[in-house]
Structure 1
Amino acid sequence: MRWYDLSPACKRYLLAVYTLAVPLAALCLAGPNSYPTAWVLLTLISLFVATLNVRLPTISSVISMGDVFTILALMQFGPGPALVMYWLDMIAGHLSNVVRQAGIGGIGKIKAHKILFNLSCCALSVWAMNAVYHAAITSSLPYPSNIVVGLIGISLSWFLANTVPLSIAVSLWNNQTFWTVWREGRTLALLNFTGSAAAAGLISLFYTRGSFFIFLLSLPIVVVVYQLYRFYVERYEQAQSHISELSKLYLQTVEALSTAVDAKDRYTHGHSKRVQAYETELAKCMGVSNEDELLAIRAGGLLHDIGKIAIPEYILNKPTVLTETEFEKMKIHPGVGANMLSGIEFPFPVIPMVKSHHERWDGKGYPEGLKGEEIPLNARILSLVDCYDALTTHRPYRSPMARAEVTEFFKRESDRAYDPTIVKAFLDNLERIEAAGKADSLRERDIWGIKEVETSRTTNVRKLESVQPAVAYGKALSASPEMQRELYSVFEFARAEFQCLTPKEVFSFMGSKLEKLVRFDAAVFFLADLRQAEIVAEHVVGSASQDLLGLSLELEQKLTGWVAANNQSLCNLPPFPDFLKCSGPRPAFELSAIAPINRHGEVLGAISLYRTERTKFTEEEFRRLEIIASQTAIVLARCNRSETPLLLDSLTGLPNAFQLYLMFEQIAMDASRYQYPLTLLAIGLDDIAGVRRRWGRMSGDEAVRALANSLSKEIRETDLLVRYTDDEFMLLTPKISREQAETLKSRLQDEFDHFRFPARSDREIHLRASIGIAVYPEDGVELESLLSASEWQMREDRELRSAVGSRVKAVPVPKRLSES
C-alpha cells in the first residue's frame, strides 16, 4: 500500500516508530562495540544465509536463518555490530525476495515507508535484546545459568519487540484487530526466535573455546538442514495444491447445482449467491471464524433451495400468491433437498442447514416444526438472510422493501420467526451485510475462486397458437351463430392485406369484437415499448375502464407485465398487482383474465380483462380471449414488418406502382382538359435476372439502384418516374408527342449502351434496356390500356434488338481487317 493510501492513524503510528527508533539505534551504535575481521566474515556469511529465507507453508511469514548470526554478533561483538548486521540482513533478504518474485524490475516498486519501518523494528529488537542480555549476564546468577537466562530473555524480547509493532502496523493497514493479526503464526514465530537463540548460544560456545574456523565446520550442517526443510515444504505445497484443485472441483459442482435451481426459478436468479454472501458476512459478524464452519455456511447458502428442482415450474414462476395446495407442494422442497444431498459425504455440516432453513424460532415452521435452539445455528442464520433477500428484491407481485420497512419487519418478527440474538446482530451490521451482497453482485462470478462463464439465457417461450389442446379451442369456437360470425370476422380481419393500420385502429376493432364474445367490466389493450421495457395501455373498453388509459407496467412485473414477457396466459387471479402504482383510488376489480399479444417470440403487448365481481371467467371465455390475442398479434406483426413509406420503393426511393395508379387520373384529366399529349414509356432491364444469378442478389439490387439514379438525371421535374416491377420502370411524361418520345427513347438507350456497372472491383458489366411507348389517348384512355400497349412495344423492342445483335455477331470479319 502506498504512503498516501494509508489511514491517518497508520501514518501517525509509523512516524512514532521511526522517531523512537532513532535514539535507540544511536544507543546501540554508541555502546561497547568491536568490529574485528571475524565480524566482517560473519556478516558476509549472514548476508548469504539471509537470501535463503524459508517460507512457512501455512502463514504469510518467513523464517530467516540470519537471525542466528544477529544474536551471535550481539553476544560476541556488542549491540552496534549486531544492529548493522541485522540491517544488512534485512535489506539483502527483502531485495532477494522481491527479485525472486518480480525480477529486477520489482526493485523500483519497493515502498520506502515499509523499508524504514523494518529498519526501525530492527533497532527496537536489538536494543531490547541487548538490554535483557546485559542484565542477565551481569546479574548474580552463576555461569552458565546467567547465559541460559540471557538467551531466554533474548528470544522473548525479540519475539515481543518484533511481532507487536509489526502486528499493530498490519492491523492499521488492513483495518483488522490487533489480536487477529498477532495470533497468526505466533507459536511458530516464538519457536523460531527460541531456536535461533539456542543455536546462537551453541555457536558462541564453539567460537569462544575454539576458533572462528572451527565454527565454519557447522555451516555444512546448516545447509543440509535447510535443504531438507525446503524439500519438505515443496512436497507439502504440492500436496496442498492437489487438495486445492480437488476442493475447487467439488465446490464448482456445488455451484453448478445452485445455478440449476436459479435457472429454473426465473424470479430468484442470483438469489442463492446473494444469500451466500449475506450469510457468510452475518456469521463473521457473530464471531464465526472457523474455516470449516464458514465453508459449511457458503455451501449451505448455495444449496439451500436445491429441493426446488422437484417443484413444478408453474408454481415457482407464478406471479401471485400461491393457493393452499400449491403452497403444500412448495413446502416439500427442504426435505427433498436434504434427501438429495444425503448421499454426499460433506466435510462439514450442510444437510441440517438445507433441511431446517424454513423452521421458525416459535416452532411454527416446516418441515419438522423445530423450535428455538433445536434449530441448528447455521440454519437460523440462513433463514433470516433468505427472507431478507426475498424482501429486498423485485417480485412480480410487489416492489422491494425500503430499509426502514425491512428493519421494522425483523424487529417485529424477532423472537417469533427468528432468533432474537441473530436479529440483533443482523440489524447492528446491516450496512456491512448489504455491502457484502452488493460487492458479490457487482464483481465477476468468482465465489469459490472459480470464474463462471456467462451464457446467454434462452427463453422458453411457447407459441400462443398451440398452447392448449384442440378440444379446448374447439369448445370455444362451437358457440352460437352470432359468436361464430364475430370470430369469423376477426379471422378475416387478421388475413386481410391492410398496409397502413395503426395499433390503436387494430385494438379498436378487436375491442369491439371482444365485447360481443366475453363478458367483462374493463378490457385493456397494452402495447409493448421494448426500449423502455414496459407495456402501456393504448386502448380501453368497458363500463369500468375509466382512468386505465395510459397505465404503464414494467415487463416481467405485476400480472400483465409478466404475461407479456413470458408469453403465458393467466386466468381468474386477483388483479391488484397491476394497480399498485396507481396515483388515484385503485380500481375495485376482483378477477382478471390476461393473454399475451406475442408473435414468433416478439413481445407485442397483452390484453387484460377485469371483472368487478368474483364470477370466474369460463374456459370458453378464456379461450376466446386467447384467440383474439393471437389474431391481434398477427395483424400487429404485419403492421410492424416494415417502416418504409407505403408509396415509395424501398430499394431505389422512387415512387412505386401505387403512386402511378393514384396520380394517373389527375394527370390524364389535366391533359384532356388542356389538350396536350401524355406519353407513357415502359423501360425494362433486359438481363437483370442473369446479373443476379451470376453476381448475386446484392449486385443485382445495386445495378437497379444505379440505373434508377441515372434515369432520374435524364428526366424533367414534371415527369413521373416509377419503379413498376422488379426489373421495370414506368416514365409518365406530359407534353411530349410520340415523335419526341422516340427521340427520348433513342437518347436513353444510347446512355444505357455506354453504362457500365462495377459488379466487382476488377469487373464491369453492361446493362441494356428495352423501351416501349404508349400515347394518351391514341393508345387508350385507361391506365391499364396504356400499360398494356407500352409493355407490348417494350417486348417488340427487346426482340428487335436481340435479333439485330445476333445478326451482327454472325457477320464474318473481312480477312484484310482480321490480318491487320
Structure 2
Amino acid sequence: GEVAGGAAALEMPRAAARSLAERRRLLEVWREGSLWSVPYHLAGSALAGLLLLTQPLPVWLVALVGAPVFVLLSRAYGAQVGGVEQERVKAAEVTTLQTEMLEAMALAVGARESGGRPNLHRIGRTARLLGESLGMTADDLKALELAALLHDIGKMAVPDYILSKPGRLLPEEFERLKLHPVVASEIVQRARLPYPVAPMIRAHHERWDGQGYPDGLRGDQIPRGARILAVVDAVDALLSERKYRRALPLGKAIEAIERDAGSAYDPEVVQALREQKAELERVLRDNEDGSKPLPGFLSAIAEAHREEMQVQDLLGELSSTLDIETILPVVEERLQRIVPHTCAALWALKDGRLHLVRACGQWSERFTGAVLEEGAGASGKAALKRSAQVQAPAAGELSCILGNLPQLEGATAIAVPLVSDQGVPGVFTVYGLGRTVFEGRHARLLAAFAPRFASWLESARRYQRAEEQASLDALTGLPNAAGLYLQLQQEIARNARADRRLAVLVCDLDGFKAVNDTFGHLAGNQVLQAVATGLRERCREYDFVARMGGDEFVILLPGIGDESIEDRVRSFGLAVTEAGRRVCGHPVVSLSIGVAYSPADGVVPDELLARGDERMYANKRLRKSRGVVSPDTAHAMYPGL
C-alpha cells in the first residue's frame, strides 16, 4: 500500500500540470496518464526487495536469476510507455482533425457571407496579436485563435434573409440572430477540444456593461478571450463592405470602437487595439493579397449562395404587387444584371397558342399582339415539352415577331415553362443577340425562379379577372367608371413615356330618354348594348371604350393626330346612329362628343374628364341650337368656335 501510494504521489505533480494546462479534472488526467504505471512501481519495488534478500548469495547467482526478470520488466515498461505515447499522438491527431473539420465548416459559413473570401484567418491573426499584447499564455492564445475561426459557425441556424437584411432587424429576427453564439459553442463543445474555446465563443456578444447576449454577463464575468474576440469581430465588421455601407479605413474603425469602450467593450482590450494599430495594418496588408487561389469548395459554396440570393431578390419583387404590367419591367431589369439579354417576353398559353402578356427590353413595342404556336420555336417547345430550352436557336421565333432583321442571325434564347398545379400557364423567355451566350447557371437561375413566378402569375391572373369583373359594366360588358379611371391613369403614364398625345373622348347619347319613353326600357337596354358594340368595333386594338354610367361613354385614343380624330369622331357618330336604327327601325339617337388631350389639357384623369365633359355639353348645346343630328366634328374639338 505504501509503495502504491508513493507511486501515485510521484505521478501526481505531472498529472496536476496536465490538468491545469488542459482545463480537465485532476483525477481524470491521473487515471488516463498515470494509473498504468502503478503496477511497474510495485514490480520494481518487489525486485528491489528481492535483491536485498539475496545479498548473502554469490553475485553470479543473483545476476543469473535477476537479469531475466529485470529485462522482462524493462521491456514491458518500454512497451507500455511507447503505447501511452502512441495514444497521446493519436489523441493529438484526432484533435487536429476535429479542429480542421470545424475550421472547414467555419470557412464554408464565412464563404456564404463574403462571396468566397472569408476573413476568418485575418480575424484569427488579429485576435492573437491582441492576446499576445495582453500577456495571454500559449494555450490561451491557441484557444483564442480557434475561437476567432469558429465563432460564427452558429449562423447556420440563422435564416439567410435575416443575415442579408440591409435594414434594422425586427425584434423577432434579432431574437433568432441571438441564437448563433449558443449554437456555435454547443457545436465546439461536442468536439471536446483540449482548449477553453466554447466559453469564448458563447460570450463573444456579451457587453462590458451587461447589455449583451446570450447570458447578460458584465465586466470580468466575461471570459477574457471573449472580450478580445468581441473587439476583433467588431473591427472586422467595420473593415468589411456591407450592402448598406462602405468599408471603413482602420483608423476610423478604431475610433468607432473607442467610442464604445467601457460600455460595449473592455477598455483594456480597446487600449491594446489602439497600441497595436501599426502591427494590425501590416496584418491587413498581408491579408489583402487576393491572388492566392481559393479552395474549390469555397468558390462553389459562394456561387451557390450568390445564386440563391439572386433568385430571392427576384422573388422579393413579386411580393410587392399583383399588377403584371408594373412588375415585369422591374423583374426584367433585375434579371438583366444576372442573365444578360437583349429582350424578354412573358407568354400566356391559351388554346394551344402562346399569347404575349408583356415584353421588355429592346424592340418590346414590336412584340405587341404577338402569338406563337405551341411547339414552335424555343418558347413553343418549352410549353409543349414542359422543360427549359437553353441556348436554343431563336432567329426564327424572333423573325415571326419582328420581321426579317439582319441582327437576328444567330439569336439564341432560354425559354422556361411556368409549370403550376393547373398545368403550364405560360412561358418566360429571354433572348440574346450576337455574342450573347447563355450558360448553365443562367438556366438554373431561371428554373429556380420559374415555379414561384408561375404561382405568382396564377394569382395575378385571378386578381386581374376579379378586378375586371368588379370594373365591368354588367349590361354592356364594357369597363365601368372604376375600370376607366385605372386605365386612364396607365395610359397617361404610358403616353408620357413615349412622348405621345392621348385623346380622351367624353360621349353622351342624344335622344336616349325618348327611346325609353317610347319603346320601353328593354329596348333602351338593347340600344345601349348595340352602341357599346358599335363603338368597340370602330376602335383600334389598343383603344379603350368604357361606359361611365347611364348613356355616357368615354373613349381613349392613344397617339392620335388632329386629322385622324375628325375621322374617328365621325365614325363613332355613325355607329350610334346605326345602333338606334338596328334596334328601333329608324335613327332615334345621336352622339355629342367632347375631346380633351393629355398633356395639353391635363395630366390627371379628373382634369381630362372634366375638360372633355365641358366640351361635350358645349357641343350638345350648339348642335341643339342648329338642329344637327350627327356630331359636329369641329365643335367637338373646339367648342368655342
TM normalised by structure 1 equals: 0.29
Structure 1 or 2, whichever has the larger Rg, is 1
Q: Higher relative contact order at CA 8 Å, sep ≥6: structure 1 or structure 2?
A: 2
Q: TM-score, normalised by structure 2?
A: 0.36
